[in-house]
Amino acid sequence: MPVKGLGPYDANNIFARILRGEIPSRKVFENEWALAFHDINPQAPVHVLVIPKRPCVSFADFAAVAEEAEIAGFMRAVGVVARELGLEEPGYRLLANMGEHAGQEVAHFHVHIFGGRPLGPMLARGTT
């Protein structure tokens, strides 16, 4: 079910529980700002999620409230993860779903990293 992407943070959302180590994940990276782990339902040969440590519902929330150091730390972490996954040379796609129209399902801000094959058009065609 898509979430609103705005509003109060639910400390029991699935990614909050992964951050606390209550639910296992296939971790690929962690530092002060971010945690990265493989998506449980991959949509490409490489499909990794990067989440900030700060509890934020969505991109809109994170962009509005995070400190500069958190934003920089998070963005750098996304770059490091993609590089460490070997995706820089072939290329990769970043995606962040925000709210209902984007189909955001987990209300903790996350960036998807997709790679490992040509990824096709940016959005499904013929549906404008």
Catalytic residues: 110
Contact between 10 and ligand 5GP (CB under 6 A)? no
Residue 37, interface with ligand 5GP (CB under 6 A)?
A: yes
Amino acid at 18: I
CB of 41 to ligand 5GP, least distance (A): 4
Q: For strand 27-30 and strand 46-52, is the pairing parallel, antiparallel, or unpaired?
A: unpaired
**Residue 106 within binding range of ligand 5GP, rule CB under 6 A:** yes
Q: Residue 8: left if φ>0, alpha if ψ -120 to 50, beta else—which one?
A: beta
Helix (H), strand (E) at residue 111: strand 111-115
Under rule CB under 6 A, residue 25 binds ligand 5GP? yes
CA count, 13 A, side-chain hemisphere, 75: 9
Residue 12 or 68: the one with the smaller Cβ distance to ligand 5GP is 12
List contacts with ligand 5GP (CB under 6 A). 14, 23, 25, 37-41, 97, 103-106
